[in-house]
Structure 1
């Protein structure tokens, strides 16, 4: 979605979105008030932004839109699996939980998401996160669908070794997302420290790989480390439905980098909703330069540039968005895209005197520059002949006088 469209959507959605944000105090460390609500000052953020006007595409196992906390939050979406039914079908529950962590309203004592004003675009590409990927075409088509449908953010909480060979087509989708100003997050993987195996889509250029942390700010032991980790988000003790989607809420001890990717996406939605005219580059830049780090290092392979802190942007006004056209990471990669993510201005055509007609009245008027600068001393064609003739006539007249 372009900044202009996003700004219009923000205006229309603000009142309704604020109404969906829960405002009652909840006990800390419970399924409806997990630990990161206090760390990120979530309810204080909701006084300024709730993700309104932002669409997050959840490319996963589908999203069950009948859950109380997701009613009215989920767009139509698409089902690209074999025997497709609907993007609202989720027999595994994984995509639904990710959607709830992003945009759940808490209705019916359900999950309260980080950005309850955002909308979820469900893109069902697999039936279960445990099955092998038979065809990467579903993933490619799903990402393209999300881009074409106007998603601002793509969130993928699935990392698969069996699609490494298909990294080429997925890379093309990452390129297209960059061109269309779509911010792309993916889970880093749950292989643990030292498992630096590059796993798409998180390992692809243009995709923000997300690691997981515990409530003490330390990296979760299962969170895959590597150069593809750009940022981290909560992954432990996150709310979930126990015993199926119709079961009660509980705190899942290990939500994995899946939950972290969803919460990073929600953080971006909050920041973007408060700053609808920003580009993806500006949103990501402030996320990275306000991220929480326990030391002075710029980044490491465990938590990337740090742990997401959208509250520092939304509540405290921190973070410099910088150049809207300059990505904070993947700069060389994006600069090499053909066609480019940020097209160069089309240069004005240089007139060809041998082919172009003589300047008309408008061109002659423009020659007397508004700033009083001298005119070019080289004139071509008929204009030069006229100037010489007039000059000669003036000289002859002066001699005669």
Structure 2
């Protein structure tokens, strides 16, 4: 059976992204908390967390696995599943991407004001590990379809998919998305990172999935965030601090729609916790209708902003302030800009392979992405004696049919 590889890459620039990673002492961990600009923009301490922190909601993270021992994630990570061909319960992450996404959703920090806080710090994470272009055995199954179905069948009410690939013609993935929608689950995917490909990645482009682009700290569109008519929302995705799987005390900073997707998933969890009677469609409606308008005043929805920039505090306002809308998923009848593929014979479980160049960040994600271990962010250089080393990992270009972390 044909397999799917999800290539790593939290890419930012066409020539490759630098992701800064550090094993941080307490002082630096405090500074990392201070650099979480998204939480300040969302006014979480005064307008979000007093209303909801995600209690009672499980968010599935379909990714590279999640390290449950990171100091900012202890107690947050449930046993999950591994469809990568290795033997684990999803709580093994050699790459670090999944750990980072989980920390943006459900991180609780440590100490008084140290480490990474997630937007929904009382959410539980269901880690579902899938294959990446880093290699590993290729099991005879479709990773994405199996991962989505596992998430739905094991209690996840929100599914975070900071991944992308050539799934447009993948009938099994398409059916799994439809299954999740029918089971009242909110599905959220990264639109993708690219400066040349102007089509939203799959699975984000599947009907019913919230497709998320990346915004900078001023609410503008990040210059490598993929546009497209499927785009639903923008969320913070530039210079985002998150946990790393390098060690139990390490952190990273990166750019991309992966991070944006995590913040939208956390917001969906906050809403599901506060308003448990709302359907998945009404949760999506709340996020759409409460989104902040584009800076340029353009009409929404549009291909650059979707319906606007995520606003968790407004999305949590009482029913009298936000129209929940109908219970049906408002995105399920969304037209795919690349066209809906013809149906595959019902008796075949073989996912067809789309004849297209690799999805994702051409020239960066899924290709030559460097990882720099050091201490730096936004022009600020922090020197920590004895803990900084420079490691550059060159990654070869992903094979055709691969994908990318967004």
Q: TM-score, normalised by structure 1?
A: 0.70
The equivalent of 1:174 in structure 2 is 177
Give the Cα separation in 1 of the matches to 2:136 and 2:169: 13
| Aligned 8 A contact 1:68 1:107 in 2 | yes
| Aligned 8 A contact 1:209 1:230 in 2 | yes
Larger radius of gyration: 1
Give the Cα separation in 2 of the matches to 1:199 and 1:87: 24
1:145-164 deviation line (CA, Å, top 9, x unaligned): 00100110010001123x44
The equivalent of 2:60 in structure 1 is 57
| Aligned 8 A contact 1:93 1:245 in 2 | no
| Aligned 8 A contact 1:61 1:129 in 2 | no
Name the one with the larger helix percent: 1
Structure having greater relative contact order (Cα 8 Å, sep ≥ 6)? 2
| Aligned 8 A contact 1:210 1:233 in 2 | yes
1:115-135 deviation line (CA, Å, top 9, x unaligned): 001110000112x46569966
Query: Secondary structure at the residue paired with 1:218?
Result: coil
Name segments (4+ residues, structure 1) moved above 4 Å: 129-136
Matching of residues 177-256 of structure 1 within 5 Å? 177-192=180-195, 195-241=197-243, 244-249=246-251, 252=253, 254-256=254-256
The equivalent of 2:93 in structure 1 is 90
The equivalent of 1:100 in structure 2 is 103
Query: Secondary structure at the residue paired with 1:123?
Result: strand
User: 324, 335, 350: which is aligned to 1:321?
Assistant: 324
Q: Structure 1 241/102 Cα, relative in aligned 2: closer, same or farther at 3 Å? A: closer
RMSD, matched Cα:
2.5
1:227-261 deviation line (CA, Å, top 9, x unaligned): 221111100121124692445445x2x43100010
Q: TM-score, normalised by structure 2?
A: 0.69
The equivalent of 1:291 in structure 2 is 291
Q: Structure 1 214/131 Cα, relative in aligned 2: closer, same or farther at 3 Å? A: farther
The equivalent of 2:125 in structure 1 is 120
The equivalent of 2:78 in structure 1 is 75
Aligned length: 300
Give the Cα separation in 1 of the matches to 2:101 and 2:168: 23
1:34-53 deviation line (CA, Å, top 9, x unaligned): 11212211112111110111
- Any stretches of 5+ residues in structure 2 without a counterpart? 1-26, 336-406
Query: Secondary structure at the residue paired with 2:240?
Result: strand
CA shift for structure 1 position 332? 6.9
Q: Structure 1 243/278 Cα, relative in aligned 2: closer, same or farther at 3 Å? A: closer
Give the Cα separation in 2 of the matches to 1:131 and 1:186: 23
Matching of residues 155-170 of structure 1 within 5 Å? 155-161=160-166, 163-166=167-170, 168-170=171-173
| Aligned 8 A contact 1:230 1:303 in 2 | yes
- Alignment of 1:149 with 2:154, yes or no, is yes
Give the Cα separation in 2 of the matches to 1:106 and 1:74: 14
| Aligned 8 A contact 1:285 1:322 in 2 | yes
Name the one with the larger strand percent: 2
The equivalent of 1:277 in structure 2 is 277
| Aligned 8 A contact 2:67 2:245 in 1 | no
